[in-house]
Amino acid sequence: MLYLATPSSGAARDAMRAGLLGCMTTPAQGNLIPDGALYACDNGKFSRKGWPGHRRWYEWLTATVERYGADRCLWAVAPDVPFDAAGTLAESRPWLAQIRALGIPAAFAAQDGCEKGLIPWGEIDVLFLAGTTEFKTGPTAHALTGEAIARGLTVHMGRVNSRRRLRLAHAFGCASADGTCLAFGPDQNLPPLLGALRELRDAPGPFTVPPPLSPGRKAIR
């Protein structure tokens, strides 16, 4: 599983160049993507102040893909409405084809309640597990991950900032995860993060699904 982080230190950027981490970028981030690193494009909707509006977001996305290459882009997540499944479907649907038109996979943010016929399966390439902590770490998200994989899609889990959450994403079958742990104490948090990823990579078999983690954790432990 690939972990996507911000390129917040020289060591983090080196890890991205080496393929040990991927780079998560947003319209408000302003960081350069390290040479050779795989990257994904979030939309900034979760933080609100990071959302520049539809036109400027798509201009940013287009420029990012042109600068860094479609071949290195894992996906771009369509504009969503955090914690609102129906609102996300209405917000995202007009943009999915436009993301694909850039030659990159289109990700759709799964929110609480989206299992009730509110996922446009035939129009997406990646299912992004978003929503509340209870939703994305619970049995519904687990089942949706299995359905997505059965449909030939990949799955990403957002807001992964602990070893337990990382193990959970791996146990679900997610191909990638992201979090902000390197934005808060990158030098302190990078070694345990790389160690946790190495543990998953070297494990003889899949981990069992651990119980949900309480929100607010900012360190891989």
Taking only the tens place, the pLDDT of each residue in 70-84 is 999 999 999 999 999
**Is 191 a member of any domain?**
yes
> Please, which residues bridge with residue 73 across strands?
39
Does any domain span residue 95?
Answer: yes
Express each pLDDT in 100-155 by its tens digit. 999 999 999 999 999 999 999 999 999 999 999 999 999 999 999 999 999 999 99
Where in the sequence is the domain holding 75, given as residue range(s)?
Answer: 2-202
The verdict on pTM exceeding 0.75 is yes
* CB atoms near residue 186 (< 10 Å): 19
| Strand-strand pairing, 2-5 and 22-25 | parallel
> For 51-62, what is each residue's pLDDT tens digit?
999 999 999 999
Q: How far apart are CA 174 and CA 157, in angstroms?
A: 7
Decide: helix, strand or coil at residue 176. Answer: strand
Domain tally, the chain: 1
**Residue 24 pLDDT:** 97
Distance CA 205, CA 64 (A): 37
Which positions ≥6 away from 13 have C-beta within 8 Å?
Answer: 7, 34, 37
Q: What CATH number does residue 82 fall under?
A: 3.20.20.70
Residue 75 lies inside a defined structural domain of this protein? yes
Instruction: State how far the Cα of 181 lies from the Cα of 161, in Å rounded to an integer.
Output: 6
